[in-house]
Amino acid sequence: MKIIAINAGSSSLKFQLLKMPQEEVIASGLVEKIGSEDAGFTIKYNGSKDSKVLNIPNHGVAVKLLLDGLIEHEIIKTIDEIEGVGHRVVQGGEVFNESAELNNVTIAAIESLASLAPLHNKAHVIGMREFKKVLPNVLQLAVFDTTFHQTMEEEAYLYATPYEWYEKYGVRKYGFHGTSHQYVSEEAIKLLDNKKDSKIIVCHIGNGVSITAIRDGKSIDTSMGLTPLEGVPMGTRTGNIDPSVLGLIAEREGKSLEELLDILNKQSGYLGVSGISNDSRDIAKAAHEGNHRAKLAMQLQAKRIADYIGSYYIRLKGLDAIAFTAGIGENSSEVRNLIVDHLEVLNVKLDQKLNTTHGIVGNIASKDSSVKVFVIPTDEEVMIAREVYSRL
């Protein structure tokens, strides 16, 4: 059976076609710069890759191109072979505490949550409507980044802002990367031989970064908040700061709130501190060449991640494993070292031979470490396909 996982952004559409239940990736790809005359379409299958630059005016054209591409490359014979579609959705608010089948009511509810995630949810809905047009009789599911964190208790998700803000506008912590945290924690629990009441901290460290405390498979706290801006410094995002900074810079530089939020989201983190790049590889290279601000950008992030690990250790009342995932977490032995260096008091220790083995997956802690340290490649698409498969 073939299931397609879709991630629709405002100007992009990523997809992965999987054979289920084998969880085999048959094809994957990306339509980018939708809305422009030099948009791109890339499809990968069977070890080969095909890229084209062409005019893609809207998401409708992008969806058609994608499906035609699958047929043209003989990956499928007709679109009827696709028996399920899973759509990644960033914000499910408090409305969705599980994945939801798409119909007019659920699509409208996802659209109405756009005030909590304006850039993402609107784009997802455009993608969903296009897929509903071409595959009207196939099960289509919305899989939310926030669902996994809906198990947090009030004291973990509520901000100490006026309570009416929560009641009227849904101002609270939702948390993100839920599909990734769920996938990685499930894999970590397997590595712990399905231990009961497991205590795990997942560090999803990519361009976006979030840290989650997971007890017995359930999220009890996470670093991202109302939006993915909260938490630790990321590629271009600040993570937590004193909101008074906004008032000060607004006054000194005459900037609007919108401009300031844009800076906190897009010009801060690694990029803002180093002034060099948002990419961890560029930052590490500059740091090795002696650039102080690049080094600082990495140290600042590692310290703040360790702060979360410390606080979640207390919330979990112990710790079986820390799991590193996403672009940096999976690949950078240096970032893992910087973080673990702060955890001496918890007796977390890495085996340096394992930590520096390229492409390592599994436990990288030393034998005398009190806590296991896992590297687990995340796979949000497989998680989405599993959800769809389980409903068919």
Residue 9 or 235: the one with the smaller Cβ distance to ligand AMP is: 235
Number of residues that bind ligand AMP (CB under 6 A): 11
377 binds ligand AMP (CB under 6 A): no
Count of Cβ atoms closer than 10 Å to residue 161 Cβ: 12
Q: Considering the complex, state which of residue 270 and residue 313 has its C-beta at the smaller distance from ligand AMP.
A: 270
Closest CA to 27 of 12, 42, 11, 38: 42
DSSP result, 295-353: HHHHHHHHHHHHHHHHHHHHHHTS-SEEEEEHHHHHH-HHHHHHHHGGGGGGT--B-HH
Strand order in the sheet with 100-101: 48-56, 36-45, 24-32, 13-19, 2-8, 82-89, 139-144, 100-101
Quick one: 35 or 377, whose CB is closer to ligand AMP? 377
The alpha carbon of residue 89 and the mean position of all alpha carbons in its chain are separated, in whole angstroms, by 11
Q: Which residues of 257-296 are buried (b: 16+ CB within 10 A; e: fewer)?
A: eeebeebbbeebbbbbbbebbbebeebbebbeeebeebbe
Asked if 207 is part of the footprint of ligand AMP (rule: CB under 6 A), the reply reads yes
Q: Choose the binding region for ligand AMP from 152-160, 164-172, 325-333, 341-349 (rule: CB under 6 A).
A: 325-333
For ligand AMP, which is the closer residue by CB, 90 or 328? 328
Pairing relationship of beta strands 372-375 and 321-325 according to DSSP bridges: parallel
Tokens representing 76? Answer: 């499928």
* Beta pairing partners, 222: 212
Question: Considering only 59-67, 94-102, 279-287, 361-369, which stretch makes contact with ligand AMP by CB under 6 A?
Answer: 279-287
Q: Which of 200, 328, 339, 375 binds ligand AMP (CB under 6 A)?
A: 328
State the nearest-atom distance from the C-beta of 176 to ligand AMP, in Å.
12
Q: Which stretch binds ligand AMP (CB under 6 A): 24-32, 82-90, 274-282, 368-376?
A: 274-282
Q: What is d(CA 114, CA 120) in angstroms, rounded to the nearest whole number?
A: 8
User: What SS3 state is found at 186?
Assistant: helix
219-258 footprint of ligand AMP as x/- string (CB under 6 A): ----------------x-----------------------
**CB-nearer residue toward ligand AMP: 144 or 324:** 324
Among 216, 279, 341, 351, which residue interacts with ligand AMP (rule: CB under 6 A)?
A: 279
331 lies in the binding site for ligand AMP (CB under 6 A): yes
Beta carbon nearer to ligand AMP, 96 or 176: 176
User: Taking CB under 6 A as the rule, does residue 138 contact ligand AMP?
Assistant: no
- Least Cα distance to 336 among 315, 357, 313, 316 occurs for 357
Who contacts 226 (Cβ-Cβ below 8 Å, separation ≥6)?
116, 159, 171, 172, 173, 174
Task: Please state, in angstroms and rounded to a whole number, the distance separating the CA atoms of residues 331 and 344.
Answer: 22
By CB under 6 A, tell whether 206 contacts ligand AMP.
yes
CA dist 349 and 366 (Å) reads 6
Candidates 39, 211, 326, 371; binder of ligand AMP (CB under 6 A) is 326
For residues 231 and 222, give the distance between their C-alpha atoms in angstroms, rounded to a whole number. Answer: 8
- Among 121, 185, 236, 280, contact with ligand AMP (rule: CB under 6 A): 280
Per the annotation, the verdict on 68 as an active-site residue is: no
Work out how close the CB of 231 gets to ligand AMP at its nearest, in angstroms, rounded to a whole number.
Answer: 14
Position 35 contacts ligand AMP (CB under 6 A) = no
Question: Under the criterion CB under 6 A, does residue 332 sit at the interface with ligand AMP?
Answer: yes
Mark the segment that binds ligand AMP (CB under 6 A) among 42-50, 293-301, 313-321, 326-334: 326-334
Q: Pick from 49, 52, 281, 391: which binds ligand AMP (CB under 6 A)?
A: 281
Choice among 38, 145, 242, 307 that is catalytic = 145
Judged by CB under 6 A, does residue 12 bind ligand AMP? no
Confirm if 309 and 339 have CB atoms less than 8 A apart.
Answer: yes
Pick the closer one to ligand AMP by CB: 150 or 355: 355
Ramachandran angles phi, psi of 297, nearest 5°: -60, -40
| Main-chain dihedrals φ then ψ at residue 339, nearest 5 degrees | -70, -50
- Tell me whether residue 227 or residue 331 sits nearer to ligand AMP (CB atom): 331
Q: Which amino acids are annotated catalytic? A: 145
> Could you list the residues that contact ligand AMP (CB under 6 A)?
206-207, 235, 279-281, 326-328, 331-332
